[in-house]
Amino acid sequence: MSETSIGVPTETAVARTTTLTIEALQAIREHGAETFPYECCGALIEHEGVIVEAFKMENTTSGGAARRFRIGPDGYRLADKRARDIGGSLVGFYHSHPNEPARPSAYDLEHAWPNLTYVIISVRAGVPEDITVWHLRDDRSGFDKGELKWPTGS
Amino acid sequence: MAHRVLIPTPLRPYTGQKDAVEVDGGTVGEVLSSLTTSYADLRRHLYADDGKLRHFVNVYVNDDDIRYLERDATKLKDGDVISIVPSVAGGAPVTSASDATELTNAEVQRYSRHLILPEVGVDGQKKLKAGSVLCIGAGGLGSPAALYLAAAGVGRIGIVDFDAVDSSNLQRQILHGTPDVGRSKLQSAKDRLSALNPEVRVETFETRLTSANALDLFRGYDVILDGTDNFATRYLVNDACVLLGIPNAYGSIFRFEGQASVFATKHGPCYRCLYPEPPPPGLVPSCAEGGVLGVLPGVIGTIQATESIKLILGAGSTLVGRLLLYDAWGMRFRELKLRRDPECPVCGDNPTVKQLIDYEEFCGVKPVAAVPGSGVPETTVEELKARMDAQAPFYLLDVREPHEYQIARIPGSTLIPLGQLGSRYGELPPASAGKEIIIHCKSGVRSAKAVNLLKEHGIEAKNLKGGILAWIDRIDPTQAKY
C-alpha cells in the first residue's frame, strides 16, 4: 500500500509543495480540536504563493458531522468572497479526521475537485496530530500527497 | 442563443484560465452539453461515470439553483447567466449505513423495476430499505400512502391512529376491507401491509397524537406523512417537524379538492408560512360533514408517498416551495409558489414558538365553551320522541342540505337549509302558535348556529343534541347513517 497516494499508485508524482503561515497552521489545529469529535472544515486562502488564512466554515453536512463535512454552494461563494476581500485567492479547503489518520478517504476522493489543495488534520481524543496536504489527480484516479511547509522563526 | 457560463477557480485550467465562457443552448442541459463538448476535460469533473451531474456540482441560473427549477430542462432567456458553483465535501473513512444495507436476491427480484431506473438503482433501493416514514393516520390519505411505501420497500413504516374501522371508511380507506369493520385500524393496516411486503417493519402507535408525545414519536423517522383530518393536529405535525428538522409530506382533502406540498425542509417553507392562522372553528367543515369523493385521497395520498420516496432518495424535484392543488371534479392540477416566511413564528429567522403548544386552544376548539353547540338551549332525541308520542305541539326544523334530506330524515320535519334560514325565517310558526321550535342537522353543529341565528331575530328555539345521527343511533336504527 502506498503511503503517498490513495487510488491507483503513480510513479511520476513529484510532490508539490504547499506553504502556509504558522498562524494558518495554528488556526487549523485549533479548529480541529474545537469541533472534536466532529469534523471541522474551512477554506485555504493564498496570497503570493503562501496560504495566509485558514478561514473557518460551518460544517453543513446532513450525513453525521462525526464522519463527514460539507461546504455548500453558499459556503463556497462566501469563501471566494473572503479571499477576494483580503486580496488573495481561494486555493483549497481543510478538514479534520477525528480519531482517524490524516489520509484521504474514498469518500474524499469521490467528492474531490481538481486543482484544489486539500489539507487534512488528524485529531485524536481531541488533540490535533498529523497534518497532510493532497491534490486530486487530473484523471480522478486518486490523490497525490504533497509536501507541507511552514516557515518557523525568522 | 449564447449564454455566459461562469467557471469556478478549480475548473479554469480546463477553459484556458477563463473565468467565463460563452456557450450556445436553449436549456441548461444544452448549455452544459456544448460546454463539455468545447472543453472536453471538464466532462469527467462535472459528470459521474453514469452520466449524471456529480452531486457536488451546483448549477445556478442567475440566483436560482436548477434543482429548484427544472434541472437540465430549465429554459434559458436572453441574458441569463449560468454559474457552476462547487460544494466541497469529504470525511473520514467510514462504513456508511447504505453500505451495511445489502439487498438480498429476493429483494433484487422484487424491486427490479426500481433497480433498472438509473434514478433509483441499487443505491436508491438501499436508501429506501434503510429509510423510514411515519404516517399520521391510517385513513383516506394514510391508506394509499402506506400501501405504496410498503410496496416500494421503505424499510420501516410507522402508523399513528386510535380509531376502529367503520363501514363508512371503506369507500376510500383502502387499507381496510369489509371483514375489518370493528377492528382496530392499526391491526388491519399491519396485516394488510405485511401481506403486501413482509420485509417491511410496520410500527404501530395506538394513541392520539398530542403535544406531549409527538416529538418522541417522530424522532428517528426520515419523513412524516401528514394524513390528518383536523387543523389542530395539522399544526401540531407541522411544528414538531420544524422543531426536529424532519420533512413533512403534507396532504389534505375536502369534497372534490385536494392539496399537497412538502414542508419543514431545511430552507423550505412550513405549513404556517402558508396558513399563519387556523380558520375560525366550524368554518371549514370536516369530511364527515362535507363529504369527500372516495378516490380523491387515493390521488393525494399517492402524491404524498411519491414525495416521501423522493425525500428518502434525496433526488427528483419535490414539492418544496410549491403547493399543488387538485380539483377532481374539473380534473385540473394547479400549482402555487410558496416561500419561507422570514417572520414565521416557527421556521422564521427569529422563531417565537420553540416548543409544542396547546394546538386545540390555538385552533379555538378549546375550551369547551367555544365549541359551537354548547351554550345554546338543547333537547335530546329521547325528549323529541316523547313529544311525538304525546302529540305535544312542536315544530321540527331541519337545516341540512336537500341531498342529505334525501338520505335520511326525521318524520314531520321541515327542511330549510342553514344558508337560506336568514331570509326564510318568516316561514316559521309565530310564537302565538304556541309551538316550540326544535332544530336539527346531521350532528348538531349547524343546528346550533341556526338557534343562535334565530335568537338574533327574536325567535327562541332548541338544538337537537347529536342531530339525526343520534336519532338513528338511539330512536330509529332502521335508517342508514351517512
Contacts of A69 in chain B (CB under 8 A): 89-91
* Helices B381-390 and B467-474, packing angle to 10 deg: 70
Subunit contact A105:B90, Cβ cutoff 8 A: yes
Q: For A8-24, how does the pLDDT look when each residue is reduced to its tens digit (9 = 90+)? A: 434 445 688 999 999 99
* Per-residue pLDDT at B218: 92
Q: Is A112 on the interface with B (CB under 8 A)?
A: yes
What pLDDT was estimated at residue B369? 41
Task: Return d(Cα B298, Cα B142) in angstroms, integer.
Answer: 9
CB contact (8 A) between residue B87 and residue A112: no
CA distance B55 to chain A (A): 9
Helix H, strand E, coil C: the string for B80-136 is CEEEEEECEEECCCCCCHHHHCCCCHHHHHHCHHHHCCCCCHHHHHHHHHHCEEEEE
Non-local (6+) Cβ contacts of B190 within 8 A are B159, B202, B204
What pLDDT shows up at residue B67?
83
Chain B residue numbers touching A90 (CB-CB < 8 A) = 9
* DSSP state letters, A50-65: EEEEEEEE----SS-T
Contact B13 A114 (CB under 8 A): yes
Helix (H/G/I), strand (E/B), else coil: A142: strand
Do the chains contact at B90 and A95, CB–CB below 8 Å? yes
pLDDT of residue A64: 66
SS3 A53: strand
Interface ipTM: 0.85
Mind telling me how many Å the CA of A93 is from chain B's nearest CA?
A: 8
Q: Is the Cα torsion angle A56, A62, A64, A68 positive or negative in sign?
A: negative
> By the CB < 8 Å criterion, does A81 face chain B?
no
Q: Does the pLDDT value for residue A154 go beyond 50?
A: no
- The residues of B annotated as belonging to the active site are 287, 441
Give the Cα separation of B228 and A100 in Å (integer): 46
Compute the half-sphere exposure of residue B208: CA atoms within 13 Å on the CB side of its CA: 7
Please give the DSSP secondary-structure letter assigned to residue A11: S
CB contact under 8 A, A113 and B45: yes
- Residue keyed to cell 376548539: B365
B116 has a chain A CB within 8 A of its CB: no
Under an 8 A CB cutoff, do A140 and B58 touch?
no
pLDDT tens string B260-314: 999 998 789 999 998 888 877 766 777 777 889 999 999 999 999 999 999 999 8
**Is the CB of residue B43 less than 8 Å from the CB of residue B36?**
yes
Question: What pLDDT does residue A5 have?
Answer: 44
More confident residue, A121 or A142: A121
Angle ∠(A106,A108,A114) on CA atoms, nearest 5: 120
CA dist B343 and A4 (Å) reads 52
Does any CB of chain A come closer than 8 Å to the CB of residue B34? no
Bin B62: left if φ > 0, else alpha if -120 < ψ < 50, else beta: left
User: Is the CB of B10 less than 8 angstroms away from the CB of A113?
Assistant: yes
Residue B95: what pLDDT? 40
CB contact under 8 A, B8 and A61: no
pLDDT tens figures, A22-55: 999 999 999 999 988 788 999 999 999 999 999 9
Chain B partners of A37 at a C-beta cutoff of 8 Å?
none
Classify B149 as helix, strand or coil: helix
Interface with chain B: mutation pick from A71, A90, A113, highest number of B CBs within 10 Å: A113
SS3 A86: coil
Among B402, B300, B422, which Cα is nearest to B413's? B402
Of residues A61 and B305, the one with the higher pLDDT is B305
Count of positions (residues) in chain B: 482
SS3 (DSSP) at B327: strand
Nearest residue of A to residue B245, measured between CA atoms:
A62
- Which three cell numbers mark B63? 440566483
Say what the pLDDT of residue B100 is: 45
* Statement: residue A7 has pLDDT above 60: no
pLDDT under 50 in chain B at which residues?
94-100, 367-373
Nearest chain A residue to B83 by CA distance is: A73
CA distance B308 to chain A (A): 17
CA distance readout (Å), B194 to B147, B175, B187: 10, 11, 11
Task: Provide DSSP, B16-41.
Answer: TT-SEEEEE-SBHHHHHHHHHHHSGG
Which chain A residues are closer than 8 Å to B91 by Cβ? Answer: 39, 61, 63, 67-69, 95, 97, 105, 107-108
The whole-angstrom separation of Cα B245 and Cα B437 is 54
Q: In chain B, which residue's Cα lies nearest the Cα of A93?
A: B88
Q: Report pLDDT for B52.
A: 83
- Helix, strand or coil, per DSSP, at residue B466: coil
Give me the pLDDT at residue A37, please: 79
Residue A63 C-alpha cell reads as 450525513
What local confidence, expressed as pLDDT, does residue B366 receive?
59
Write out residues 24-63 of A within 8 Å (CB-CB) of B. Answer: 39, 41, 61-63
Of A110, A116, A117, give the one whose Cα is nearest residue A141: A110
- Type and span of the H or E element at B152: helix B142-152
H/E stretch holding B187? helix B185-196
CB-based contact B93 A107, cutoff 8 Å: yes
Amino acid, single-letter form, for residue A74: D
Q: How many CA atoms lie within 13 A of B237 on its CB side?
A: 28
Grid cell digits, residue A79? 469563501
pTM exceeding 0.80: no
- Please report which helix (H) or strand (E) contains residue A89, including its range: strand A89-98
Report CB contact under 8 Å: B10, A98: no
Q: Could you give the C-alpha distances from B307 to B23, B118, B268, B276, B431, in angstroms and in order?
A: 35, 18, 14, 23, 59
Per-window interface: B 127-186 vs A, CB < 8 A: none
B330 burial (CB, 10 Å; 0-12 / 13-18 / 19+) is: exposed
Q: Where are the alpha helices (DSSP H) in A1-154?
A: 22-35, 73-85, 106-110
Q: Answer whether B45 touches A (CB < 8 Å).
A: yes
The predicted structure's pLDDT at residue B220: 82
Residue A4 is predicted with a pLDDT of 42
Contact status, residue B254 vs residue B287, Cβ threshold 8 Å: yes
Grid coordinates of B355: 416548543
Q: Is A71 on the interface with B (CB under 8 A)?
A: yes
pLDDT at B69: 84
